[in-house]
Amino acid sequence: MSTPAPASGFSRKGWCPGAWRPMRSGDGLILRLRPPGGRITIPDLRRIADGAARYGNAVIEITRRAALQIRGIADEDDAASLRADLQAASLVDDDAQAESARQVVHDPLTASDHPGLALERALVDAAREDPALAALPAKFGFLIDDGAPRRLAATPSDIRIERTGDGGLCLRAAGCDEAVAITPDNAVAHALALARAFARHPAVIAGRFHRMKALMASGEGAGLYRDAGLGQLRRISPADPGAPPRPGASENGTLAALPFGQIGAQALHDLADLLAGSDVVPSLTPWRALWLPGADPALAEALAAIGFITDPDDPLTGIDACPGAPACASGMIETHALARELAAALPPAMRDRGIHISGCGKGCARSAPAALTVIGTAQGHDLVQNGTVSDKPVAQALSRAALIAQCNDAAMRQ
Ligand code: SF4
């Protein structure tokens, strides 16, 4: 919700790409889209695929916050042309402020008449009209996790509307264990009040914190509920979280995962061909996958043939890897090749506990702890066990062979 800046200022930390704020990476500019409701019609699949092939390097990504990215755009002129094409199809907002207001993630596996979707629309509309939110850091976002079970516990966000154990709703600042009880009628007003309280917090204004979780972890956000006018609300806890869904067909549809969150433009065209004549409208998900509600289970095999993961036991399931080198300018290692090697080498039980391959210490692909976290450095590979990129490595500057041997040792000791 900050003022758009020219694409040339990209290397600054904390920059959050959007259609109006493309970000430079190792393979060119990245243009990020948040289609309304996260839904992509079949014509839009083709439009996005054509745009990615014409202006980018034909690589399309889904992010952990259910946005879609087109990578490898050569320059700002091409980014502007692509944006104009997508804007004509209402896939891009009219300006950066409207685009920022769309940083609301909801559970795409809930039915289209689920209240969470209406809540998302109301939150987006209200955020667009709230000038105080323009002061929020660019990456700041909201999340609505009101499904049963809650599936978005591992999805990062700053302000969280979550289902409670008794079927009600609560509002929680990320990084804070305690939530306050809200209702569908006051959820939007209270969520925006909490966002405004964050935006006017002295430590946020001073630029010391850009995300809610960091503010809360510091202890400096202790009075935020009170400052937001929520101090009198009943304290409550969210319902226990469920596990995120695995790829594959279920009775309600099919979850088609993208290997490492990426797929080629041709695969989107192939998907459009597969869905032609059906009323399936794919949705973006925060699990780096497309959700195809109501899709014929028999489609899973055809989806796998065009590059999607639909086998819940696929070796790449459970492995998070960022683009790494050379696609990302900060990448110190080729993350995808290493991830495939580890996927083949390690037993499924280890993969199920989470493996994170990070091209550098930023850890873009995963914020939750993993059994094994590999961090690329100028000296080689650092390895963290049962932690995140921020935790102390158990070994540093490992060669690739030494790293794989050490990961295997860790798996044997499980
Ligand atoms: S974690 Fe990966 S994607 Fe993120 S900055 Fe580092 S190399 Fe790039």
Average pLDDT over residues 61-68: 94
Q: What is the pLDDT of residue 2?
A: 36
Same domain, 84 and 133: no
Is residue 45 assigned to a domain?
yes
Domain finish residue from 236, 266, 290: 236
For the CA of 359, the nearest atom of ligand 1: 7
The helix (run of H) or strand (run of E) holding residue 263 is strand 262-264
Same domain, 354 and 269: no
Instruction: Please spell the DSSP secondary structure of 190-224, one letter per residue.
Output: HHHHHHHHHHT-HHHHTTS-SSHHHHHHHTTTTTH
17 lines ligand 1 (CB under 6 A): no
Give the sign of the dihedral formed by CA 216, CA 133, CA 366, CA 209. Answer: negative
What is the overall mean pLDDT for the chain? 92
What is the edge-to-edge ordering of all strands in the sheet holding 370-377?
Answer: 319-321, 355-358, 370-377, 380-387, 395-398
236 φ, ψ (degrees, to nearest 5):
-155, 165
254 lines ligand 1 (CB under 6 A): no
DSSP, res 241: B
Same domain, 124 and 47: no
pLDDT above 90 for 17: no
Q: What is the pLDDT of residue 150?
A: 95
| Among 320, 348, 368, CA closest to 414 | 348
Same domain, 124 and 86: no
194 lines ligand 1 (CB under 6 A): no
- C-alpha Rg value of the chain to the nearest Å: 21
Residue 411's pLDDT band (boundaries 50, 70, 90)?
Answer: confident
Same domain, 73 and 148: no
26 lines ligand 1 (CB under 6 A): no
Beta bridge partners of 395: 383
pLDDT in tens, 89-125: 999 988 887 788 789 999 999 887 888 889 999 999 9
Contact criterion met (CB below 8 Å) for 371 and 356: no
108 lines ligand 1 (CB under 6 A): no
Q: What is the pLDDT of residue 18?
A: 86
Same domain, 39 and 127: no
DSSP, res 309: B
User: Given its phi and psi angles, is residue 65 left (phi above 0), alpha (psi -120 to 50 degrees) or beta?
Assistant: alpha
pLDDT in tens, 20-45: 989 999 899 999 999 988 999 999 99
Strands (E), 93-200: 104-106, 142-145, 159-163, 169-173, 179-182
pLDDT above 60 for 344: yes
CATH number at residue 58: 3.90.480.10
**Residue with the nearest Cα to atom 3 of ligand 1?**
322
pLDDT above 50 for 238: yes
Residue 139's pLDDT band (boundaries 50, 70, 90)?
Answer: confident
Average pLDDT over residues 339-360: 90
| Buried-state track 276-292, b at ≥16 Cβ within 10 A, e below 16 | eeeebbbbbbbbbbbbb
239 lines ligand 1 (CB under 6 A): no
27 lines ligand 1 (CB under 6 A): no
Q: How many CB atoms lie within 10 A of CB 334?
A: 18
390 alpha carbon – ligand 1 mean position (Å): 14
Domain finish residue from 170, 203, 236: 236
Domain finish residue from 264, 292, 310: 310
Rounded distance, CA 391 to CA 373, Å?
9
For the CA of 323, the nearest atom of ligand 1: 3
Give the 3-state secondary structure percentages of the chain, helix then strand then coil, rounded to 5. Answer: 35, 20, 45
pLDDT in tens, 270-317: 999 999 999 999 999 999 999 999 999 999 999 999 999 999 999 998
For the CA of 328, the nearest atom of ligand 1: 8
Strands (E), 351-398: 355-358, 370-377, 380-387, 395-398
pLDDT above 50 for 7: no
268 lines ligand 1 (CB under 6 A): no
Assign 350 to helix, strand or coil: helix
Structural domain containing residue 156: 110-236
For the CA of 329, the nearest atom of ligand 1: 8
End-to-end CA distance of the chain: 45
Same domain, 358 and 399: yes
| Among 127, 145, 233, CA closest to 189 | 127
Supply the pTM of this predicted model: 0.89
